[in-house]
Amino acid sequence: MSAPLPKRLWQKFERSRVGRSIFRVGLPESNLERSQAMVSSFLLHMQPAKVNRHSLRASYSFGLGLISLYLFLILVGTGVLLMFYYVPSTERAYDTMKDLEFVVSAGLLMRNMHRWAAHLMVLFVLLHLCRVFYTGAYKRPREFNWVLGVGLFLLTLALSFTGYLLPWDQLAFWAITVGTSIASYAPYIGPKLRYLMLGGNVVGQEALIRFYALHVFVLPAVAGLMVAIHLWRVRKDGGLSHPNEPGDVVEQVDLGQLPTNKTYGLMELARGTTLQVGQNPDDEVFSWPHLVFRELLLFLIVMAVVLFLAIFWNAPLEEFANPIHPPNPAKAPWYFLGLQELVSYSAFWGGVVVPGLLVTALLLLPYIDRKRQGVGRWFARERRVAITIFTVCLLAAIAFTVIGTYFRGPNWGWQEPWKRPPPAAEGH
Amino acid sequence: MAEGSLRHFYGWFTVLGLLVGGLVVLGYYKDEYREWKDYQKKFIHEEMHRAATPQQLATAKRIPVEVRQILLPDLNRVDRCTTCHLAVEDPSYGGYPQPLAYHPLNEQHPPEKFGCTVCHRGQGRATTVADAHGNVPHWDEPMLPLQYIQASCGKCHQAADNPAAPELARGEQVFEESGCRGCHKLGGTGGILGPELDKVGAHRSADWLKKHFLKPAAVSPGSGMPPQKLSEANLEAITLFMLSQTGETAPGYYASMKVIPSAAEGQRLFTQKGCIGCHSVGGKGGDIGPALDDVGLRRAPEWIVRHFRDPQVVSPGTVMPQFGFTETEARALTDFLLHLRDQKVALSLPSFMDQVERGHDVYRKYGCAGCHGQDGKGGVPNPNAKTAQLVPDLIHVADGYTKDELKARILKGQHEINALDPKRPPPPLYMPGWGGTIKDAEVNDLVAYLISLKPKGEDAGF
């Protein structure tokens, strides 16, 4: 049977002089070449040559981390294109939004993709965090990678929040006004913190330029670096968690305690078991094509979803920001509405204590919950206490967010969404 | 490694690749298809149809399909209206249906300096019909209906000065005569019972304003404003005038162009510069310079204009100083002098009025009629007021007050109005104190006017 046409054309190219200069290994035909393909390519070498079948199972990881990464890449790509037009000035930012919509080729499409990918990224990073929790994948030796992951979740929120201001419309202006005032409820440092974020006491040009600099440079650079470390640690910590992992990992022996009158083999200097112990070669498949192809397919799926959303739904753009006409109620971005709902009960408890405790608990989780039970399995029975606590907190967060989003009307009063009066014929 | 599983991958790659490819094509199509392109093609088609010579046909075929825009940096606007309205400057398209109609009156307001939206409103940056005409959510400035277009003249020009905007002038007249200023401030003059009106035209629609005049509480719940009895024509006129009050200020070039050299502007200058100190009109005034009653008969308009610019040029040796009038001011003053032959114009100069007439002007200026009725005749409802649920008329104030008491009453006001029924809400209208707003000379004139309202022949002690 002859190979399909695209494959034959590709092979012709890679055997040419130019092709051989670019690709160190061609399309692999043997297992040796499959390994070489992985380790000799810059883009592929961060992944292992062989991968556990369990890690490939879609029903285990759902590809949530990878989806988050793809969304991040789409955001970087569309974000750079948007930067070619955007001007971070209170006088011109809104006009550039209008120009993107009306006269820039594919401007609206790029803005829509950026907006929807940003919302999806917040959602998928959270889902990824939940997946890692429910499969116990934060346990030794992956504790620190969990901490990095929580940091990346917070960074994602910060990226989305700083981007929210940039269109300089009513939605942006009041969401940031509300969001930053939540920060000011922190005792002692709160008002100073808000002043630091806004460069003043109200949202204005200084706030816009700060949010812009954070959004297009500082936060993406930090997030990019942390993603790299996060991925590095995934490999160094033994790949994706799975049920048959060795109980411990290899540790170096304190060399000072060893007699020095002999030479040692590498095996003698290590304690514990290596990552490979307990892994059956029959459980492993070559990353090329099993992992790489799946990853590429997932990228196509993510791209299709984002394109679909961007083609059929426009990113919101309200009136030009007007500091003397607050909407009623003024709402923060959706992922902070649970927080805003809590703040409506008590600024100190809801705005400071509860979120502060939640973030601290998330960061310390792997150091508190240390038993190596139920790693690599969803909802393991041995972990029901931890799972119950986490689920209650998660459901509460979702409930408060839903209430804040759909059940709060003027003056933050209770209002069922199906009883909302139709929008007035004339605003103001 | 089974080839079968690879084939499985190829199937998915094909399906998803086609899906993403299809979506990219769809996204490209949606982006590339813009409704203005249809309008431009129709225009090109029309131009080709009109072409009489092969050269004209070739020119028409070369018209590019592209976004047209007028950049107005001083006005902070970009108007892309001409992307669809391609023939606004071509008189041969007079009478064509939109979007290809010709726009007359381009001489005073050249499109390249003024664009479109500064008068017509709407969303200049937009390139779809719905968005550009502005009747879309989240856009505050929909297009002004053509029947109210004269409101835009009032954004820059004095309403009364503009012969091209008679409806605007009439609207201002209705506004002043209805006594709106009794409760509302406009341009810093007026009462405090209602909101200021300086920007009302920027955020209220014509429909809202009309409803508001006829039944204020229907659109502004809790409003104490009495419903206005306005004829249909007056209602439209005052609505138009309100729409002209947008609070916008014209920058640089536009501010310098906004004075129309009209007789009304000339009259203001004539009074302001104290011309009457040397010249006389109708026998009143100084006698250093000649009387001006018939100057329009004696001198050609051009002579008068040059005289204002530099008196020595046309009357060597004259003692009249050079005031440094601009060309526009000189033309306005000339226009006024030419109108002096008209008795009515001459008599409206303040120096010709007696105290009662001036007082009547004050009564109008501060909108007293808004509550006390035209000429103090009353009749304005004030629900639950003890005085027959009406604001009291002023015809007989001479019987109850001395001049000083009346003056004190105007300056101090009366904030507590006795209620007919204490259980019902208090009367919405009350007398604000005008001290600090009204000038001392004006109160004296006003008091004289109010005292004069008492019908002749009626005795104080009937």
Residue A132 counted as domain residue = yes
- Which of A102, A307, A310 comes nearest B127 by C-beta? A102
Structural tokens at position B13: 């790659």
Q: Cβ(A181)–Cβ(A175) under 8 Å?
A: no
Q: State the nearest Cα–Cα gap between A196 and chain B, in angstroms.
A: 31
Q: Does B27 touch chain A (CB under 8 A)?
A: yes
* Unique residue bearing structure tokens 């405090």: B192
- Report residue A24 CA to chain centroid gap: 33
Contact A319 B138 (CB under 8 A): yes
Distance CA B457, CA B459 (A): 6
Q: Return the sign of the alpha-carbon dihedral for residues B108, B114, B115, B121.
A: negative
pTM for this entry: 0.83
* Unique residue bearing structure tokens 């204590």: A353
Percent of chain B beyond pLDDT 70? 95
Q: Which of B36, B81, B125, B199 to mutate to test the interface with A (most CBs of A within 10 A)?
A: B125
Nearest-5° Cα angle at A343, A340 to A345: 125
Q: Which residues in chain B are contacts of A303 at CB distance < 8 A?
A: 20
Structural tokens at position A77: 């790509």
Strands B189-190 and B185-186: antiparallel
Query: In Å, how far are A139, A147, A239, B324 from A367, measured between CA atoms?
Result: 8, 10, 20, 86
Secondary element (H or E) of residue A126: helix A107-134
Distance CA A283, CA A267 (A): 25
Task: Report the b/e string of B416-434 with b at 16+ CB within 10 A.
Answer: ebeeeeeeeeebbbbbbbb
Distance CA A402, CA A384 (A): 26
pLDDT of res. A115: 97
| Neighbour count for residue A108 (Cβ, 10 Å) | 21
Show Cβ contacts of residue B301 under 8 Å, excluding neighbours closer than 6 positions. B334, B338
> A287-312 and B3-32 helices cross at what angle (nearest 10)?
20
Q: What is the DSSP string of A39-106?
A: HT-TTTTTS-SEEEHHHH-HHHHTTHHHHHHHHHHHHHHHHHHHHTT----TTTHHHHHHHHHHTSTT
Structural tokens at position A105: 């080729």
Distance CA A199, CA A263 (A): 63
Residue A425 counted as domain residue = no
Q: Cβ(B216)–Cβ(B225) under 8 Å?
A: yes
Q: Cβ(B325)–Cβ(B266) under 8 Å?
A: no
pLDDT of res. B343: 59
Q: Does B221 touch chain A (CB under 8 A)?
A: no
Distance CA A345, CA A182 (A): 12
Residue A39 counted as domain residue = no
pLDDT of res. A398: 95
Contact B80 A102 (CB under 8 A): yes
Q: Cβ(B122)–Cβ(B262) under 8 Å?
A: no
Task: Report the b/e string of B170-195 with b at 16+ CB within 10 A.
Answer: bbbbbbbebbbbbbbbbeeebbebbe
* Unique residue bearing structure tokens 């209705």: B174
Q: Which domain holds residue A327?
A: 54-245+279-419
Predicted ipTM of the assembly: 0.86
Domain count, chain A: 1
Residue A74 counted as domain residue = yes
Q: Which residues in chain A are contacts of B10 at CB distance < 8 A?
A: 4
Three-state secondary structure call for residue A252 = strand
Q: Which of A299, A300, A312 to mutate to test the interface with B (most CBs of B within 10 A)?
A: A300
pLDDT of res. B1: 45
- Which of B26, B32, B127 comes nearest A311 by C-beta? B26
Structural tokens at position B52: 């009489």
The domains found in chain B, sorted by start residue, are 60-143 (no CATH), 146-252 (1.10.760.10), 259-351 (1.10.760.10), 353-451 (1.10.760.10)
Distance CA A396, CA A263 (A): 60
Residue B296's nearest CA partner among B288, B285, B307 is B307
Q: Which residues of chain A have pLDDT under 50?
A: 424-428
Residue A35 counted as domain residue = no
List chain B pLDDT tens, one digit each, 462 residues: 444 567 788 889 999 999 999 999 999 999 999 999 999 999 999 999 999 999 999 999 999 999 999 999 888 899 999 999 999 988 899 889 989 999 987 778 888 889 999 999 999 999 999 999 998 999 988 999 999 999 988 888 887 777 778 899 899 989 988 888 888 989 888 888 888 999 898 888 899 999 999 998 888 888 888 888 889 999 999 999 999 998 888 777 777 777 777 777 788 888 788 887 888 877 777 788 888 877 877 888 888 888 888 888 888 888 888 888 888 888 888 888 887 766 555 556 666 678 888 888 888 888 888 888 888 888 888 888 888 788 888 888 888 888 888 888 888 888 888 888 888 888 888 888 888 888 888 888 888 888 888 887 665 544
> A190-198 and A170-183 helices cross at what angle (nearest 10)?
150
At residue A27, what are phi and psi to the nearest 5 degrees? -55, 120
| Closest chain A residue by Cα to residue B141 | A319
Domain CATH for A199: 1.20.810.10
- Which residue stretches of A369-409 are H helix? 384-406
Q: Which residues in chain B are contacts of A37 at CB distance < 8 A?
A: none
Show Cβ contacts of residue B113 under 8 Å, excluding neighbours closer than 6 positions. B72, B253
Distance CA A272, CA A252 (A): 9
| Closest chain B residue by Cα to residue A112 | B27
Distance CA B173, CA B238 (A): 8
Q: What is the DSSP string of B95-162?
A: TPPTTS------SSS-HHHHTTHHHH-S-TT--SHHHHHT-STT-S-PPPPGGGGGGGGGGTS-GGG-
Distance CA B417, CA B428 (A): 9
Residue A233 counted as domain residue = yes
Percent of chain A as helix, strand, coil, to the nearest 5: 65, 5, 35
Contact B1 A103 (CB under 8 A): no
Q: What is the DSSP string of B306-346?
A: HHHH-HHHHSTT--PPP----HHHHHHHHHHHHHTTSHHHH
Structural tokens at position A303: 């791209």
CA atoms within 13 A on the CB side of B233: 4
Query: In Å, how far are A5, A10, A27 from A15, measured between CA atoms?
Result: 15, 9, 10
Residue A168 counted as domain residue = yes
Structural tokens at position A351: 């705005």
Which residues of A make CB contacts under 8 Å with B? 4, 31, 34, 91, 95, 98-99, 101-103, 105-106, 108-109, 169-170, 286, 289-290, 293, 296-297, 300-301, 303-304, 307-308, 310-311, 317-320, 423, 426-428
| Neighbour count for residue B274 (Cβ, 10 Å) | 11
Q: Which of A103, A112, A287, A308 to mutate to test the interface with B (most CBs of B within 10 A)?
A: A103
| Closest chain A residue by Cα to residue B207 | A426
- Which of B138, B140, B203 comes nearest A317 by C-beta? B138
- Tell me if the bond preceding A167 is cis, omega within 30° of 0: no
Residue A390's nearest CA partner among A146, A152, A183 is A146
Strands B189-190 and B280-281: unpaired
At residue B77, what are phi and psi to the nearest 5 degrees? -135, 150
